[in-house]
C-alpha cells in the first residue's frame, strides 16, 4: 500500500530547502542529503527541467546501497518523478522496472501509473507474468517476487484492457491487498460492479490496515455505491474523507456540464458529517 496517496496535497510545514540547494545536494557527495533532496523535490512538486534531469540521472545511481543491495536514492528518485508529471521520465522509469531492487520496481510502477502514459503497459504486463503459469498463479504462494499490487493498480489506471485475463487470477492471490488491487483494476477495466462490491466487502474486514487499503482503492476508482459504507467503516475520518473526495471528483467528471449529480451532493453530505 502506498501511503503517499493519503498524503495531504499541500503541506503546512515550512520548506527547509531551496530548489537550487536540493538540485545541488542531489549531485553532491553526502548520501543522506541526496536521498532527502530527491524526496523533497517530489514532495514540493518542483517541476523544473533541471530537477527532472537530476532525478532521472539518480535512477542510475550506484553509490547509495543498503546492506542487502537496495538502492535508496533510486527509490526516492523514482517516487519523485511520478509526482512531477514530466513525461520525459517515462522511458527511464520503464528501465527501472528491471532494477534488482523490489522497492525501485514498486516505485517505478506507481510513478508510471501517475504519469499515465500507456506506453509502459507491455513492460508492466511482463512483470505481472512472473506471477503466472499460463492462466494461473504460480504454485508457490504467496509470491513476493514482484510488487504485484502496484503493477495491477497501474494497469487498471492506464486502461490496459488487454491485460484483463492476466489480472483476473490475482483476485485469488493469498495476500488480501493484492486481491484488492486486482479488484480495483478489474473494476476500472470492466466497470463491472461485482469488483466494486468486492472492495466494499473489504471495508468490513477485522484488520484496520485492510480497511484502510480498501478505502484508498475505492477512492481511486470513485465507486459511488460505496459512499455510505465508506462513511460508516471503522477507520480514521481523515482517510474516509480522502476516499469520499475520490468519489466526489469522479462524480464531477461524470456529471453533465450544467449541474452536479445527485451522487455528488450525496457524497458531500457524507463528507460534511465526517469533518
In terms of CB distance, is 72 or 246 closer to another protein?
A: 246
Spatial distance between the Cα atoms of 34 and 158, rounded to a whole number of angstroms? 31
Spatial distance between the Cα atoms of 18 and 221, rounded to a whole number of angstroms? 36
CB of 229 to another protein, least distance (A): 14
CB of 150 to another protein, least distance (A): 19
CB of 169 to another protein, least distance (A): 21
Chain residues binding another protein by CB under 8 A are: 8-12, 116-123, 159-160, 162, 191, 234-238, 241-242, 245, 248-249, 252-253, 257-260, 264-265, 268, 271-272, 275
CB of 144 to another protein, least distance (A): 26
Taking the chain, what is the end-to-end CA distance rounded to the nearest angstrom? Answer: 25
| Sign of the torsion formed by the C-alpha atoms of 140, 141, 147 and 149 | positive
In terms of CB distance, is 193 or 265 closer to another protein?
A: 265
What string of DSSP letters covers 23-44?
HHHHTSS-HHHHHHHHHHHHHT
In terms of CB distance, is 40 or 103 closer to another protein?
A: 40
**Collapsed DSSP state (helix, strand, coil) of residue 137:** strand
Please classify residue 108 by burial: count the beta carbons closer than 10 Å to its beta carbon, then call 0-12 exposed, 13-18 middle and 19+ buried. Answer: buried
In terms of CB distance, is 183 or 248 closer to another protein?
A: 248
Q: Do 202 and 180 form a contact (C-beta atoms < 8 A)?
A: yes
CB of 275 to another protein, least distance (A): 4
In terms of CB distance, is 57 or 232 closer to another protein?
A: 232
Amino acid at each position: 500500500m502506498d501511503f503517499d496517496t493519503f498524503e495531504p496535497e499541500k503541506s503546512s510545514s515550512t520548506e527547509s530547502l531551496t530548489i537550487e540547494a536540493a538540485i545541488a545536494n542531489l549531485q553532491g557527495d553526502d548520501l543522506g542529503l541526496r536521498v532527502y533532496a530527491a524526496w523533497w523535490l517530489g514532495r514540493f512538486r518542483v517541476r523544473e527541467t533541471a530537477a527532472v534531469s537530476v532525478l532521472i540521472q539518480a535512477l542510475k545511481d550506484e553509490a547509495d546501497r543498503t546492506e542487502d543491495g537496495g538502492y535508496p536514492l533510486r527509490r526516492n528518485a523514482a517516487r519523485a518523478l511520478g509526482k512531477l508529471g514530466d513525461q520525459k521520465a517515462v522511458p527511464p522509469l520503464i528501465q527501472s522496472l528491471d532494477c534488482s531492487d523490489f522497492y525501485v520496481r514498486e516505485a517505478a510502477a506507481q510513478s508510471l501509473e501517475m504519469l499515465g502514459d500507456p506506453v509502459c503497459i507491455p513492460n508492466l504486463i511482463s512483470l505481472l507474468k512472473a506471477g503466472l503459469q499460463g492462466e494461473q498463479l504460480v504454485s508457490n504462494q504467496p509470491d513476493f517476487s514482484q510488487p504485484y499490487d502496484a503493477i495491477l493498480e497501474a494497469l487498471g489506471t492506464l486502461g490496459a484492457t488487454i491485460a484483463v485475463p492476466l489480472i483476473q487470477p490475482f483476485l485469488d492471490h493469498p495476500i488480501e491487498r493484492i486481491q484488492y488491487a486486482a479488484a480495483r483494476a478489474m473494476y476500472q477495466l470492466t466497470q463491472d460492479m461485482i469488483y466494486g462490491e468486492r472492495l466494499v466487502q473489504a471495508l468490513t474486514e477485522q484488520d484496520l490496515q485492510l480497511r484502510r487499503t480498501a478505502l484508498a482503492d475505492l477512492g481511486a476508482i470513485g465507486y459511488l455505491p460505496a459512499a455510505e459504507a465508506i462513511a460508516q467503516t471503522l477507520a480514521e475520518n481523515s482517510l474516509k474523507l480522502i476516499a469520499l473526495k475520490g468519489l466526489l471528483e469522479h462524480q464531477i467528471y461524470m456529471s453533465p456540464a450544467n449541474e452536479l449529480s445527485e451522487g455528488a451532493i450525496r457524497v458531500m453530505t457524507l463528507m460534511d458529517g465526517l469533518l
